[in-house]
A and B are shown apart, each in its own frame.
Chain A
Amino acid sequence: MNAEKNIKLWSTLGMRATFGLIALELAKKNPELIITTSDVSTSAGLDRFKKQHPDQYIDVGIAEQNLIGVSAGLSSEGFKVISTTFSPFQTLRCCEQIKVNLGYMKHKVCMVGLASGLVLGNLGFTHCSIEDIGSLRSIPNITIIVPSDPYELFKVLSEAINYRESVYIRLTAGSNSKIINKKDYDFKIGKAVEILPGKDVAIIGCGNILSNCLDAAKILKQKNIDCSVINMHTIKPIDNEKIKNISKDYSLALTVEEHNIIGGLGSSVSEIFSDQGSNCKLIRIGAEDFYSTGGSYDYLKNIYGLSTEKIVEKILSNFKQNEK
């Protein structure tokens, strides 16, 4: 499928509809692929998959603990399994099943967490996810990837399905997600992608929120601050080399994530910064460990300092021109 041709329209399809399309493509090449889900066929864009590959589609109903158990059982018998439901239920509801069946016993399952982060803000925090990375990060043998846009999701899934261990794929943003990757590029699990070079400040982001990072960098360019924007799609195993270099080459770095600033991208980068004894200042932007009142996606991004303006403000108030 020649996806590069219409990246623009592709991205406007949004992560979930894209996931449905990719699943169909993967099913053609992988007869042993099985999609397991907890009653979310439509909202995962899987209607067509269900109709065209009924015997490769298993719905266990709204029972996420059984979802992981059944997926692991199928995987132990040689099937390639992608499980999917909304991210809080795909990760926290069945966390111990993920630990025992996937982390401890190393059965391989790709888990796709729909609508993670803040996009479902108008449903309240029962349906938002700012804790999923933090909780899974502490379980060995689980890779965690946050695709930046639908086009990257295509690359992530194609690689994850044959990757050596279980992968949690965290989908962010809604129907009209922003385009991050304008043209084709090399994607490799664990390898960060510098989508915008810049020598003054390093903005490290993951997920579709990277579009605000790019917008912020554009604004700061006019204020003579040259920002680099790095797509750190793989939280675990994270790109150690890239972070070590940032800790040496920059005086100010930011992490930007639709997640608690505890336990996610920010914590991962801080851990490496502290190993390095770096004197680069790191600011973690994200949910500051509290549940806000609900509302629109933009409303919540603003509250958690994730809007373009707030990112610009944070850099302006912390970047010292004289150190250039």
Chain B
Amino acid sequence: MKNKEKYIDIFVKSLAIDKKKFSEKLKYNDIPEWDSINHMTLMSGLEEGFNITMESDDIIDFSSFKKGIQILKKYKIN
């Protein structure tokens, strides 16, 4: 995923966590910072960062960092 660096950067910034706490195995609700409200901030950050608008279904499916990579592919971000 060539945009991986940017993807991780948006993750870290939106969830306001430091890099050490980040891992590619991160799942929704694994850490307190990734709760439902910050989930929306993350989605908004990804939409702005990659200039896309995600469907509600995808936002609900977006349950982990890895799953996010598949979902972003749907919006031609890889």
A and B touch in the complex (CB under 8 A): yes
Known contacts: A45-B36, A175-B35, A176-B29. The answer to whether A10 contacts B60 by CB under 8 A is: yes
Contact A45 B60 (CB under 8 A): no
Shortest CB–CB separation between residue A91 and chain B, in angstroms?
22
Known contacts: A2-B57, A6-B61, A21-B59. The answer to whether A48 contacts B43 by CB under 8 A is: yes
Known contacts: A47-B44, A48-B43, A48-B47. The answer to whether A16 contacts B57 by CB under 8 A is: no
Query: Is A56 interfacial (CB-CB < 8 Å)?
Result: no
Tell me which residues from 35 to 78 in chain B have a Cβ below 8 Å from any Cβ of chain A. Answer: 35-37, 39-41, 43-44, 47-48, 53, 55-57, 59-61, 63
Shortest CB–CB separation between residue A293 and chain B, in angstroms?
23
Query: Is A24 interfacial (CB-CB < 8 Å)?
Result: yes
**Measured CA separation A214–B60 after assembly (Å):** 26
Closest A residue, CB atoms, query B53:
A52
- On chain A, the residues within 8 Å of B61 by CB distance are 6, 9
Contact B40 A20 (CB under 8 A): yes
Count: A-B pairs, CB below 8 Å: 61
Tell me which residues from 14 to 34 in chain A have a Cβ below 8 Å from any Cβ of chain B. Answer: 14, 16-18, 20-21, 24-25
Contact A13 B60 (CB under 8 A): yes
The majority secondary structure among interface residues of chain A is helix
Contact A6 B29 (CB under 8 A): no
- From B37, B48, B55, A17 is in contact (CB under 8 Å) with B37
**Measured CA separation A176–B63 after assembly (Å):** 13
Contact A1 B56 (CB under 8 A): yes
**Measured CA separation A2–B56 after assembly (Å):** 10
- On chain B, the residues within 8 Å of A6 by CB distance are 57, 60-61
Shortest CB–CB separation between residue A276 and chain B, in angstroms?
42
- On chain B, the residues within 8 Å of A25 by CB distance are 56
Known contacts: A48-B47, A175-B35. The answer to whether A24 contacts B56 by CB under 8 A is: yes
- From A9, A10, A47, A52, B40 is in contact (CB under 8 Å) with A47
Closest B residue, CB atoms, query A5:
B57
**Measured CA separation A193–B36 after assembly (Å):** 27
- From A3, A9, A16, A51, B44 is in contact (CB under 8 Å) with A51
**Measured CA separation A9–B56 after assembly (Å):** 12
Query: Is B28 interfacial (CB-CB < 8 Å)?
Result: yes
Residues of B within 8 A of A (CB): 28-29, 35-37, 39-41, 43-44, 47-48, 53, 55-57, 59-61, 63
